[in-house]
Amino acid sequence: MLRVCMQYEIVPNDQPGQEPWRVSTRGYDYELQAASGEIIWSYHWHPGTRVERPHIHIGRTQLADDAVMSAKAHHPTDRVSLESIIRACITEYGADPLKDDWDKTLALREGLFKLYRRWS
């Protein structure tokens, strides 16, 4: 199961020829869970807290008892788009897409994310 929480703000769009408003992501929590509810991984970005940079937590189900990594560790990442998370669920974890043209739709939406993001 994919759980998605996003914080966003609707802001004026200063790009000529575009819609007057756009959505700007202010934080996120994307979490993939096994059927049992155990966390497989979770991507976080929560500015204004102790750990401001985007990061991933690896669920304990993915770690051996003698693993060097910890489920509590904050492994740094770049900002991650929701579209890339959905694509990974389909291509890497076998989720069934809801649309036949899912890849085209995700590519279009992610292209807009990359075009308007303020940092990578």
What average pLDDT does the segment 65-88 reach? 88
Which range, of 13-17, 33-37, 38-42, averages the lowest pLDDT? 13-17
| H-assigned helices in the chain | 82-91, 102-116
Delimit the domains of the chain by residue range: 2-116
DSSP 69: S
Q: Would the pLDDT of 47 be above 80?
A: yes
Q: Give the burial class of 68: count Cβ atoms within 10 A of its Cβ; 0-12 exposed, 13-18 middle, 19 or more buried.
A: exposed
- Name the helix (H) or strand (E) containing 114: helix 102-116
| Tokens at 107, concatenated | 């590519």
pTM of structure: 0.82
pLDDT higher than 80, residue 68:
no
Among candidate residues 59, 34, 30, the one with its CA nearest the CA of residue 43? 30
